[in-house]
Chains A and B, each alone.
Chain A
Amino acid sequence: MKTKYDVCVIGSGAGGGAVAYELSRAGFNVAVLEKGKWFKEANFSKDELAVSKREIYSPNLKDEYHIIHVKEDGRYVRYDGREYSWSFWNGCIVGGASNFMSGYFHRLKPKDFRLRSIYGEIEGANIADWPISYEEMEPYYVKVEQVVGVSGKVKRHSFLEPRSTSEFPMPPLHENGVTQWFDMACNKLGYEYIQTPRAILSKDRKKRASCYYSNFCGSYPCSSAAKGSARAALLQPNGIKVITEAFVYNLESDAKRIKTAHYYDKNGLSHKIEAKIFVLAATPIESCRLLLNSKNTYFPHGLSNNTRQVGKNLIFSAGGSGSGTFKRLKLSKESFATLIQPGVFFNRSIQQWYEYEKEGKKYKGGTVDFLFEHANIIPRVKRQIWDEDGGIRWGRSLQKAIEEHVPNERRLNFEVFNDWLSTDGTFVSVDEKAKDKWGIPVASIYLDPHTHDLEVGEFLAKKAINVLHRMGAENIQSDISASPPSNLVAGGCRFGDDPKSSVLDRNCRSWEVENLYVSDASFMPTGGSVPYTWSIYANAFRVADGIKKVLTGDSMKNLNF
């Protein structure tokens, strides 16, 4: 089969979904190729075993996997993802990872766009300014608020980013009463806090029902379409053409243009698609992999990789997490009832130290989000197998600990988000000897994080711990580590103004292949100190505007379609 489209989008997550939505609405003939299946709200349940333990929305690692190399004591140690149950898959269905996000939505700040200019270089890190400014992105952040849907309340604080609108389009979601304990603690400490904006509808919208407070949000696809996944917010309501179970394995090009995308269907049969423009949005790791695997005479090192930049400067969100526990024994009956009220959100964040000063020098800091521990029961029970001294217990002593702790406690967690500095040692390649079920080389991920990331994370964690102490929490702990979170990945195809040090130009168009755009998180030279999704959506809308101009302008004549 060979079909011609105006635009072929590869991947249907936040980066691909927004481009497909925008260009389809503008009247262009768009096809989205998505490796996963299309699920609807009626298909989703809160099945802990299926979703969290067996990970049914991710590929079977025996079929599709990653090879991971971790720098340890100066040398890379190789981990085969199949052996260690370690991968960077984050939901392979229509809508991609956006189905499984918690939807903590923070914009980048203006300073995030100029990290190198403002804070200077750091030895061993490849920090770069963005080629665009916050002001250029701002209208697209607003667009996401309106189209995808963001609920919350704008509150003035030290690092509130400039806004062209005064409020979010939807009021905040309902909150647990324990937020009052948090607010009082922050007030006493002199800490600025905000209500965390969420990409979750607090009111019904056409074809999307508002949040029903299931108590199971993060990691689970939403059964009411309230969560602003690309599937629920953009693709499904607008009838966008998505070819599912289509794994793109090669982009065929000449010296300047992609001619054809080749993909396998679920039966392993190969198909072709032709388009004027190709938009790659398969996640940073898989987008780089596809480019690196698409070698030909003109691009012997992979498509758009004659300057050898593809895969470099992979980044994650640095930071970590922590928690404090509240116990029935220490609370009044009323307070405990408030604490365990299910469903309603916590939704508090602190950004007071998005920038901080230490020994006379300014540092880029980050965000701390606070949230209740996930409602999944198995990890909460399993935690009881470790006694106070770290020893393992079983039998009656274990059963007694479960009875004593599980129904009578609730944890409040915090998550720290700060910049993961890109390094020469953290990048994506392909492993020619390790192939997936289709016989295609898998992504090979190299990890060598910068020590600066941990220092900033620890600084922010201490502030969060102060809040938990002041609230009266017990068993307070934190874990700031260099572990890369699989759901917060960016970089690999940097955009920039210099073709020698970037893969994409400021419009996220390839410097080397004139009809190739990349619209997932790959473009980001730095990730900011917030979860990425809002910025991915906003940038993808921006990229779509650029493509619209190309498709309707004179430059299309040169595309020779």
Chain B
Amino acid sequence: MRLKKRSFLKLALLGVGVASLYSFSWNKTEVDTLSLLQEDLFPDLSDSLNVRTINARSYLTYILHHRKVSNKNKRFIKKGVVWLDEEADMLFGKSYSSLLSSSRQKVLESIAKTEWGESFIETILTYLFEALLGDPIYGINRNKVGWKWVHYTPGLPRPWSPAFL
């Protein structure tokens, strides 16, 4: 199988890749905003299939600290939260988390027209899909709800321990 280099130019164009390397800390407000964003991007399909049953918040929190996730990605997510709130404030005079669901969707529609906003939504959805479709050994995709939803049969052998934690 031919492997390609990662698509890196998109984030490079956003101009967030020039700062020096540093470690990240995340406050509760940032994580709450990201968690709410996950719900807005992936609304409940049923009681058994939603961002809570796939443990999307905990997984994202873990990923935000993971050594194999690049600082560039982490930095982009951190800035994305700031920019999301700035967009919400510009449109409605409030932070994203303070808005009603319908207004939050308006904010998302607005940022989706920008290059950073499109990349931000893509990034958050990428990690959400990992929680939805990764092996339940990681405490995600509870009862294989994600796999059942898309009629997916995992490869064997499945992992017997969470290898990348």
User: Are B147 and A377 closer than 8 Å at their CB atoms?
Assistant: yes
Stretch at the interface among A181-189, A425-433, A436-444, A485-493: A485-493
What residues of A have a CB within 8 angstroms of the CB of B112 in the complex? 391-392
A50 contact from B42, B67, B159, Cβ within 8 A? B159
Task: Let me know if B51 is at the binding interface, CB within 8 A.
Answer: no
Determine if A102 is an interface residue (Cβ-Cβ < 8 Å): yes
B70 close to A219 (CB less than 8 A): no
The reply to whether the CB of B45 lies closer than 8 angstroms to some CB of chain A is: yes
Contact between B122 and A392 (Cβ–Cβ < 8 Å)?
Answer: yes
Chain A: minimal CB distance from B26 (Å): 18
- Tell me if A45 counts as interface (CB < 8 A to partner B): yes
Verify if B55 is at the interface (C-beta below 8 Å from A).
no
Q: How far is the CA of A381 from the CA of B134 in the complex (A)?
A: 12
| A483 CA / B8 CA spacing, docked (Å) | 12
Q: In the complex, which residue of chain B has the Cβ closest to the Cβ of A531?
A: B2
Known pairs A84-B8, A85-B6, A378-B130; A395 contacts B159 (CB<8 A): no
Please, how many angstroms separate the alpha-carbon atoms of A487 and B153 in the complex? 27
Contact B138 A415 (CB under 8 A): no
Q: In the complex, how many angstroms separate the beta carbon of A45 from the nearest chain B beta carbon?
A: 4
Residues of B within 8 A of A321 (CB): 2
Query: Is A319 close to B, CB under 8 A?
Result: yes
- Contact check, A483 vs B164: say whether CB atoms are below 8 A apart: no
Q: Which of B5-20 contact A (CB under 8 A)?
A: 5-6, 8, 11-12, 17
Mask: chain B, 111-154; 1 = CB below 8 Å from A; 0 = not: 01000001001100110011011110110000000010111111
Return the CB mask of B15-53 against A: 1 if under 8 Å, else 0.
001000100000000000000000011110100000000
The smallest C-beta distance from A499 to any residue of chain B, in angstroms, reads 34
The answer to whether A488 touches B2 (Cβ under 8 A) is yes
A86 touches B147 (CB 8 A): no
The answer to whether B151 and A407 have CB atoms under 8 Å apart is yes
The reply on B84 being an interface residue by CB < 8 A is no
Return B144 CB to nearest CB of chain A, in Å.
12
* CB of A326 to closest CB in B, whole Å: 16
- A442, B79: Cα distance in complex, Å: 30
Asked whether, in the complex, the Cβ of B160 is within 8 Å of the Cβ of A317, the reply is no
Interface presence of A394 (CB below 8 A)? yes
In the complex, which residues of chain A have a beta carbon less than 8 angstroms from the beta carbon of B73? 85
B164 with A82: CB separation less than 8 A:
no
A224, chain B: closest CB distance, angstroms: 10
Q: Flag if A317 contacts B2 (CB, 8 Å).
A: yes
Whether B164 and A399, one on each chain, are in contact in the complex, defined by CB atoms closer than 8 angstroms, is: no
A433 vs B111: C-alpha distance when bound (angstroms): 39
Contact: A377 with B150, CB < 8 Å?
yes
| Proximity bits, A258-293, B CB within 8 Å = 1, else 0 | 000000000000000000000000000000000000
Q: Is A223 an interface residue (CB 8 A)?
A: yes
Residues of chain B in range 69-127 having any CB-CB distance to chain A below 8 Å: 70-73, 105, 108, 112, 118, 121-122, 125-126
Q: A209 an interface residue at 8 Å Cβ cutoff?
A: no
Q: Given the complex of chains A and B, what is the CA–CA distance between A279 and B64 in angstroms?
A: 42
Q: Give chain B residues whose Cβ lies under 8 Å from the Cβ of A382.
A: 125-126, 129
Flag whether A49 is at the interface (Cβ < 8 A): yes
A61 near B1 (CB under 8 angstroms)?
Answer: no
Q: Are A54 and B5 within 8 A (Cβ)? A: no
A49 near B40 with CB under 8 A, answer: no
A395/B105 contact (C-beta < 8 A), A47-B135, A319-B2 known: yes
Closest-by-CB residue of B relative to A63 is B67
- Report A550 CB to chain B, min CB distance, Å: 36
Instruction: Name the distance in Å between A337's Cβ and chain B's nearest Cβ.
Output: 13
Instruction: Note all chain B residues with C-beta closer than 8 A to A46.
Output: 154-159
Known: A83-B72, A385-B125. A486 touches B163 (CB 8 A): no
Within the complex, the shortest CB–CB distance from B115 to chain A, in Å, comes to 11
Contact indicator per residue, chain A 323-352, by CB within 8 Å of chain B (1) or not (0): 000000000000000000010000000000
- Report the Cα distance A382→B11, complex, angstroms: 18
Closest to B8 in A: A84
Q: Is the CB of B157 within 8 A of A223?
A: yes
A6 contacts partner chain B, Cβ-Cβ < 8 Å: no
Residues B159 and A47 in contact, CB atoms below 8 Å apart: yes
CB <8 Å contact, A61 and B70: yes
Give A106 Cβ to nearest chain B Cβ, in Å.
14
Complex CA distance for A223 and B159, rounded to whole angstroms: 12
A220 located at the interface, meaning its Cβ lies under 8 Å from any Cβ of chain B in the complex: yes
Which residues of chain A are near B4, meaning CB under 8 Å? 481, 483, 485-486
Q: Name the B residues within 8 Å of A54 (CB-CB).
A: 66, 68, 164
Once the chains bind, are B70 and A378 in contact (CB under 8 Å)?
Answer: no
Determine the chain A residues whose CB is within 8 A of the CB of B149 once the complex forms.
Answer: 402-403
For chain A, residues 366 to 412, give those with C-beta under 8 angstroms from any C-beta of chain B.
Answer: 371, 374-375, 377-378, 381-382, 385, 391-392, 394-396, 398-399, 402-403, 406-407
Pick from A60, A84, A320, A483: contact of B72, CB under 8 Å: A84
Partner among B2, B71, B155 whose Cβ is within 8 Å of the Cβ of A375: B155
Q: Cα distance A252–B122 when bound, in Å?
A: 49
Q: Which B residues are in CB contact (< 8 Å) with A417?
A: 2
Whether B133 contacts A378 by the Cβ 8 Å rule is yes
A residues less than 8 Å from B152 (CB atoms): 377, 406
Task: Considering the complex, give the chain B residue whose CB is closest to the CB of A391.
Answer: B112
- A485 to B155, Cβ gap below 8 A? no
In the assembled complex, the Cα of A45 lies from the Cα of B154 at a distance in Å of: 11
A342 partner residues in chain B, CB cutoff 8 A: 153
CB pair A218 B1 closer than 8 Å:
yes
Cβ–Cβ < 8 Å partners of B43 in chain A: 395-396, 399
Task: Return A94 CB to nearest CB of chain B, in Å.
Answer: 17
Kindly state whether residue A2 has any CB partner on chain B within 8 Å: no
Contact across chains for A85 and B155 when beta carbons are under 8 A apart: no
| Sample of 5 A–B contacts (CB below 8 Å) | A48-B133, A49-B138, A85-B72, A395-B105, A486-B5
A residues with CB within 8 A of B: 44-50, 53-56, 60-62, 79, 82-86, 90, 101-102, 214-216, 218-220, 223, 317, 319-321, 342, 371, 374-375, 377-378, 381-382, 385, 391-392, 394-396, 398-399, 402-403, 406-407, 415, 417, 481, 483-488
